Amino acid sequence: MRSVSVIKSLLLALTLTFSTTAYTQQADEQLILKHFHSISSEEIAGLMTELCSPKYNGRLAGTPEYIASAEWAAGMLHGWGVKPAGDNGSFFQWFDHPYTVVNDIGMLQLHLSQKDGSVIVKSYKAPEEYYPGMNSGNGTVTAEVVFVGYGVTAPELNYDDYRDIDVKGKIVLMNRDVPYKDVRNPVYSKWVNYCYHQYKVENAARHGAAGMLYIDGNSANPNISYIENMIVCGIGPVPLQDIFAGLGKDNAAILSQIDKSFKPASFATGKVMTIKANTTRHAEGKTCNVIGMIEGTDPTLKEEVIIIGGHLDAVGNGGGLLVAGGYDNASGVVDIMAAAKALAQSGIKLKRTVVFLLIGGEEVGLLGSKYYTRNPIFPKEKTVTYINLDMVGNGTGLAVSASATCTGLTEYFTTANDKYIHRMMRTSTSSGSFYGRPRSDGLVFLAEGYRTMSISTTDGVKPVFYHLPGDDETAVTPEIMEDVAKMIYLSFIEMASANTLIY
């Protein structure tokens, strides 16, 4: 009799437990869906318009306008109930960052000597033909242009673009990258330090050049070292053609020859040009990451953090050429903010802590992610994964990629998509064998030993105005951004609530 009643009461207890759980699950699901549907493309479009507003002047890291955009984002997070996780109870993690303001578009001219001794001056147009150096010294240089290939001096690799060539007081003309191209091959690690824009301008200055024309496309590039007496300008195909005109040479042909032979092919072009840059240096600059969190509620699991991040800064305003940074990367920031709002306002109890990291200084050399990984607010060992969003706001398909250390986590995203979103979706494992220059905040975290993931959008992507004035709030599709935010929201609830995570 006694054992029967024990079994009976056990059964009763089990039934009660199951029905309570079922009830809770249903209530939870209703709550989850309510806030899922609160994420709207209209709201996303509104947040995009704000971030792309001229008042933030292209959000160049260090500028007062960037800081104003960071304060706005922090204020929104705070209003939604996200807690600060930066320095001294604030949303901000500050670091030093000198920066340069480009006051006007400057000037690029070619001086064409005629047979009768006269000189015709050809002036180029910005941004169609050239782009002012976003970190140029202030001043004017008129000098002969000397072609220096890749602008690399690598004695241990027996390669020097400046060998036997005099560039003192001259304008050097050079290309991006290095002669060795296979970033998946460990050999690339010997070349990697020579492919940075910063290195190239510093090496030109070491050789006494007074100016630099960088064949990196005529778009904004603040990711280059500032050197007081070095006048820098980015050029597109038109001035490049004019420099090579009549010389019986061609930039592309020379490069492919260098890439095959590893023999430099530098030469003085005989062409004289003028570069004028009107810039102001702010050596006292500081910038910041914006960090917010929703604290976990489980006494043990709350120590574990899931970080989602994207860069808030953009490339600024090159003397009237405002690049609002809509697709790159207001889109990633807004996706994170919309998901943060839904998660915080739902009040759903998450066991783990969720962290929102809006990064400063990406466009000037991944400074914000480097600063965070060297000064982590949450221990690396307790970080479940860092998920990066950069240019996530265009196209019709979703893609989630993970480092080999956490491919299992992509399952949380595909489940969310299969159940509620129904977009075409791809998942992939990002290769660990990469020896090139890290070109995203995600790769900075990966190099520091974090498990990393990235979310992107694919298929039918609209034309991308990369680092150009066309990259404003009209460069994105709010409907796909709504679904990205919804996918983050749903997968984060699952990831942050699971008793055990499957990596």
Q: Please, which residue, 160 or 328, has the CB nearer to Zn ion?
A: 328
Tell me whether residue 390 or residue 473 sits nearer to Zn ion (CB atom): 390
Q: Which is nearer to Zn ion, 127 or 310 (CB)?
A: 310
Residues 250-309 touching Zn ion, rule: CB under 5 A, are none
- Applying CB under 5 A, the site for Zn ion has a residue count of 3
User: Closest separation between CB of residue 392 and Zn ion, Å?
Assistant: 10
Piece in contact with Zn ion (CB under 5 A), picked from 44-52, 126-134, 252-260, 387-395: 387-395
Site string for Zn ion, 112-131 (x = CB under 5 A): --------------------
Strand pairing report for 425-430 and 397-403: parallel
Residue type, 61: A
Closer residue to Zn ion in complex, CB, 321/384: 321
Of 6-14, 142-150, 349-357, 388-396: span binding Zn ion (CB under 5 A): 388-396
Task: In whole angstroms, give the CA distance from residue 80 to residue 85.
Answer: 15
The backbone torsions φ and ψ at residue 334, rounded to the nearest 5 degrees and listed phi first, read -70, -40
Q: Does 335 bind Zn ion (CB under 5 A)?
A: no
Residues 353-382 that bind Zn ion (CB under 5 A): none
Q: Closest approach of Cβ 430 to Zn ion, in Å?
A: 17
Q: For Zn ion, which stretch binds (CB under 5 A), given 13-21, 65-73, 324-332, 346-354?
A: 324-332
Q: Does 390 bind Zn ion (CB under 5 A)?
A: yes
| Cβ neighbour number for residue 432 with a 10 Å cutoff | 9
E strand intervals along 209-313: 211-215, 231-235, 267-277, 279-282, 286-294, 305-311
Region of 152-160, 206-214, 250-258, 390-398 interacting with Zn ion (CB under 5 A): 390-398
Q: What pairs with residue 324 in β-bridges?
A: none
The least CB distance from residue 332 to Zn ion, in Å, is 8
Q: Please tell me whether residue 328 binds Zn ion under the rule CB under 5 A.
A: yes
Spatial neighbors of 456 by CB under 8 A, at least 6 apart, are 389, 390, 391, 392, 398, 399, 400, 401
CB of 238 to Zn ion, least distance (A): 27
Nearest to 394 by CA among 343, 339, 466, 290: 466
For the bound state, the minimum distance from the C-beta of residue 470 to Zn ion, rounded and expressed in Å, comes to 15
DSSP, collapsed to helix, strand or coil, labels residue 347 as coil
Cα gap 487→500, rounded to integer Å = 20
Report the nearest approach of Zn ion to the CB of residue 107 (Å): 29
The answer to whether the CB of 334 falls within 8 A of the CB of 48 is: yes
- Which amino acid is located at 133 in the chain? G
Q: Between 238 and 447, whose beta carbon lies closer to Zn ion?
A: 447
User: Shortest distance, CB of residue 436 to Zn ion, whole angstroms?
Assistant: 16
The dihedral sign for the CA sequence 221, 222, 223, 226: positive
CB of residue 362 vs Zn ion: minimum separation in angstroms? 6
Cβ proximity to Zn ion, 138 vs 454, nearer residue: 454
- CA–CA gap between residue 72 and residue 12 (Å, rounded): 54
Q: Which is nearer to Zn ion, 335 or 390 (CB)?
A: 390
Distances (CA, A) of 413 to 125, 418, 423, 488: 46, 9, 11, 7
58 CB-side CA count, 13 A: 22
Which residues are within 8 A (CB) of 303 and not within 5 positions of it... i.e. 6 or more apart? 296, 353, 382
Q: Cα separation of 348 and 330, whole Å?
A: 27
Q: Which is nearer to Zn ion, 207 or 467 (CB)?
A: 467
Range in contact with Zn ion (rule: CB under 5 A) among 53-61, 284-292, 321-329, 447-455 = 321-329
Residue 313 as a binder of Zn ion (CB under 5 A): the answer is no
CB closer to Zn ion, 325 vs 478: 325
The window from 38-46, 47-55, 85-93, 322-330 that contacts Zn ion (CB under 5 A) reads: 322-330
Does 471 help bind Zn ion (rule: CB under 5 A)? no
Nearest to Zn ion of 277, 364 (CB atom): 364
Between 390 and 472, CB nearer to Zn ion? 390
Exposure pattern of 251-274 as b/e (b: 16+ CB <10 Å)? beebbeebeeeeebebeebebbbb
Residue owning tokens 């023999």: 263
| Beta carbon of residue 76, minimum distance to Zn ion (angstroms, whole number) | 21
329 contributes a contact to Zn ion by CB under 5 A: yes
CB of residue 72 vs Zn ion: minimum separation in angstroms? 19
Please confirm whether the linkage preceding 103 is cis (ω < 30° from 0): no
Footprint of Zn ion (CB under 5 A): 328-329, 390
